[in-house]
Structure 1
Amino acid sequence: MNIYEKLQAIRCELQGQTLKKSGKNEFVKYAYFELSDFIPAVNLLMKTHKITSTIQYDKDIAKLTLINCEKPEETLIFTSPMADGGLKACSPVQNLGASITYLRRYLWINALEIIEADSLDASTKKEEGEHFIPDDRTNLDIGKIVCSDCSQPILTKEGAEDTKVINFSKSKYGKPICWNCQQKKK
């Protein structure tokens, strides 16, 4: 099998497993996948299908490379822009560690098409004027809501989900758009 067939087989086999979100943020009431929720299963599937991986980080880009062990010249690359972890009261090294952990998780979720409920569209919503107000059942994952134009997470300077920008852009444009992309539309 070529690397595309192997990746698709891994995706399908992983989809057939029950993955549970063990990460919880009690403050904004959402659950999320931690790496430990899916990496053990992924490693076994990759071993079975003879694929290995590397992750590289540079100043601007994080890169997950999947390699066909039977034909090492066959690779698939998934990338993400680098971003600061945005943790308060932490050292630069702790913020770097947070960034690496988040990016690893998002790279794997993207590469393996691990499905999570769409945090805006699949949630129960109430409209009040022009503001989207999630109820207690909304499953928000910080950094999951990304700009429809540039695909960057819509976050505050502190690294929290920027609900004001999300709500405003959803009411004005019908979709989440980050502040920078909204400025370009003017």
Structure 2
Amino acid sequence: MESTSIYAALAAVQSELKAPKGQMNTFGGYRYRSCEDILEAVKPILKAHDLLLTLSDEPKVLEGWHYIEATAKLESLDGGCISVKAYAREPEQKTKMDAAQVTGTSSSYARKYALNGLFCIDDTKDADTDEYHAAEGRNPAGVNKPQKQPAPKREAPAPKRNAPAPKSQPVQEQPFICACCGKPLQPVTYKGRTVEPAETAASTKKKFGRILCWTCAQKQPKEG
């Protein structure tokens, strides 16, 4: 039977322990505590209460999945002992990690939650680390991110009643085409004034019986 003194000592440790969140999740933009953060904070308190903390791991296979079982054991000088276990599943594969690193990541994760259980550290509001969620194939919050909804389309305002009718656009005149070279007539300068295509078309039509550009009109044979 465990000594009652270890329960009193553990209660004292739980009340004194303040484990900082010394890590930063770059994906989610929040801070969290690691196994190392907890150990760094609890070691001086354990020494003050004459307590010994040990951590151990053991691989387990449950329903074909490989797990790391971590045990956090607290012992007192009078022989009292309290232990808490936690589990973390090893991913089938992890990008840019060899097998030893994959197991080490799962071990660190399982040990953290064994310590949480032993010292009553509440991590329910903490999302997990980038590394473990990448191994599990989910985001740090453990849920799918909500998809951004498209902005609703704005309908065009209805036309006001008794509004004046829009002005009709002027009809664009068709260009005058030269019957000889097939090019549209262009404005030309003759004796210091600009001769527009309509004037050239009218004069050539009257003189040659067809519309000609200024250049082709000059090439026509002269009468008599």
TM-score, shorter chain, exceeding 0.5: yes
Quote the offset at 1:21 in angstroms: 1.2
Which digits, 9 at most, give the CA deviation of each residue in 1:116-137, with x for residues without a partner? 4x43xxxxxxxxxxxxxxxxxx
Is it true that 1:141 corresponds to 2:141 in the alignment?
no
Structure 1: which 4+ aligned runs deviate by more than 6 Å? 153-156
SS at match of 2:21: coil
Give the % identical residues: 20
Aligned match of 2:13: 10
1: CA distance, partners of 2:10 / 2:98: 37
Aligned match of 2:74: 66
Which digits, 9 at most, give the CA deviation of each residue in 1:20-70, with x for residues without a partner? 3121111122211023433223111111111102222111222111111x2
Is it true that 1:41 corresponds to 2:45 in the alignment?
no
How many aligned positions are there?
A: 132
Segments of structure 2 that go 5 or more residues without pairing to the other structure are 61-68, 147-224
Aligned match of 1:20: 20
Question: Whose relative contact order is higher, 1 or 2, with alpha carbons under 8 Å and at least 6 apart?
Answer: 1
Segments of structure 1 that go 5 or more residues without pairing to the other structure are 120-138, 144-152, 168-186
Aligned 8 A contact 1:88 1:158 in 2? no
Q: What does 1:94-133 correspond to in 2, within 5 Å? A: 94-116=101-123, 118-119=124-125
Quote the offset at 1:87 in angstroms: 3.4
* RMSD (Å) for aligned C-alpha atoms: 2.9
Residue of structure 2 aligned with 1:93, choices 95, 100, 113: 100
Residue of structure 2 aligned with 1:78, choices 80, 84, 91: 84
1: CA distance, partners of 2:51 / 2:7: 11
